[in-house]
Amino acid sequence: MTPRTRSDRRIYTSVLVIGTGGSGLRAAIELSERGVDVLAVGKRPKNDAHTALAAGGINAALSTMDEDDSWQQHAADTITESYMLANPHTVETVTKYAHRGIEDLERWGMPFAREADGRISQRYFGAHKYRRTAFAGDYTGLEIQRTLVSRATELQVPILDSVYITRILVSDNVVFGAYGFDLRDGTRVTIIADAVIIAAGGHNRIWRRTSSRRDENTGDSFKLAVDAGGRLRDAELVQFHPSGILEPENAAGTLVSEAARGEGGHLLNALGERFMERYDPERMELSTRDRVALAAYTEIKEGRGTEKGGVLLDISHLPRETIMTRLPRVYQTLLELQVLDVTTTPIEIAPTAHYSMGGVWVNSDDHSTDVQGLYAIGEASSGLHGANRLGGNSLVELLVYGRIVGEAAANYSAGIVHQHRSREAIEAADDEVTELLMSDGTENVRALQRDLRNTMTDHGGVVRDEAGLLEGLRQLDELEDRQTRVGVHPDLAGFSGLAHAFDLRASLLAARATLDCALERRESRGAHNRSDYPDTDPALQVNLVWSADGTIEHEPIPPVPGEIAALMENVTQDGKLLE
């Protein structure tokens, strides 16, 4: 098959949104409601976006269950559990306007679980002082995605969910669109736009055990932003969720929702001990994800894990009705994947790469980047989570900043009088695709992706040290060299092989940023555990900003407003055990 079998396609729009998950759709909805021409593109069907996998809930201080809760307390909990690396202004924005995000979903038909009197029900999630996590069974993300897709359909937002974007088009550090190809027939697509919003997720697929599915969260957002002239912030801060299943192998890492612990599940080692007593005796299973993941890792590492290399999550003591009504997805998932009845039998789990807490560097006001007209939102962005993400915070972030960025992009587009485009930028993007399609090397993309996941798991996982990180970077050098000799072979089934090759390039860049920053952060803080630097270093209470040339800037964090600081508790290393 020759590189070109179809004619090229050119599309014009005011704002382009890359990614059709929750954050991308929320931004597109805002733009459409403001009367702005918008186009959303994605590399997977919009109904099957990664947002649909989010299970447990969405946070907002609605005070429907605990009247003493407030957005200030929500902010205090978020900053405290970020190990002081969250941007206070970003946190204030999300927590203050979280209620509006919930109201938007209600207005668009979101089926929240409710109390008998009609109040939105809210449950406890780990490290929250009050019950502030609203939910829809344990299908919360799926229902949010359905609600947003329904609203976008009502507004007739155009969505192309088979287009792979390979490059942001930039002229003199100003965005003028993006370039990509159709996954079905290889048609080259040039999209001319005033502004571009990156909402294409994070990079946790580059670990061996991950909650992401194949070909999603491969670091696309990171590479698109960096190639355009942007930077990355806190790439080393990756959340490992405590409860990923171990089998079957093709589903290893699939999540058992944190809601299972929120509803009263017990964590047990192979000896039958509730091991969280050793790590956080006060909060036990409701401790933060970083502590629970590290505790499970330690139990396994020290020989108290199961034969298959896990620990046990037991919800069998809960009433069957509770499991079937509040944890239906957990029940169904384990029944389908393992023929396991969780009402009678514990679940074997281990830590799994779950969420990119760092991401593209953005301004906290409107999530603009270093490149004029380029924005990033959702898991693609950074600033809210710091070194530990509270469960339920990411879903509300995408609603709050989806609206804010939609408004900002609309205003930016309206203010443009002239747009400068670059023929050279378009030709360079076109040449990149052509060169890959003509490559006929001996290296297999899937094999390289597997080797990369092994490297990141072995040397950039839950616990890290200098020797391991340096070895990881050495292996990364080899993988980058091998990547230049891949073979790409489109066939009648489509151009997925070309997409895999671009995924690999993105993953390699994301991996290098992660290992570089992990090496630079010579301390243990939140989800970042250095066995050779077990203590928290006050001098490293900074964000690490990585540039394409490998340089890392230590970015100061703004002070916490007094009304929030007054509600904060000290973050300690109590309950954290390292190798």
Which 3 state secondary structure label does DSSP give 374? strand
Q: Count Cβ atoms below 10 Å from residue 233 Cβ, excluding itself.
A: 25
How many Å apart are CA 517 and CA 532, to the nearest integer? 15
Whose tokens are 């993006």? That residue is 178
Q: Beta-strand (E) ranges in 61-125? A: 122-123
Catalytic residues: 289
Spatial contact of 507 and 205, defined as CB atoms under 8 Å apart:
yes
How far is residue 37 CA from its own chain's centroid?
Answer: 27
Whose tokens are 């050279």? That residue is 424
Which 3 state secondary structure label does DSSP give 131? coil
Spatial contact of 349 and 209, defined as CB atoms under 8 Å apart:
no
How many Å apart are CA 463 and CA 301, to the nearest integer? 11
How many Å apart are CA 44 and CA 527, to the nearest integer? 29
Spatial contact of 26 and 403, defined as CB atoms under 8 Å apart:
yes
Tokens read off for 520 = 């630079």
Q: Which residues contact 483 (CB under 8 A, 6 or more apart)?
A: 443, 448, 504, 505, 508
Q: Letter for the amino acid at 560? A: V
Q: 398: closest CA among 20, 61, 116? A: 20
Q: Which residues contact 317 (CB under 8 A, 6 or more apart)?
A: 264, 266
How many Å apart are CA 19 and CA 229, to the nearest integer? 19
Q: 397: closest CA among 20, 127, 67, 78? A: 78
Spatial contact of 164 and 181, defined as CB atoms under 8 Å apart:
yes
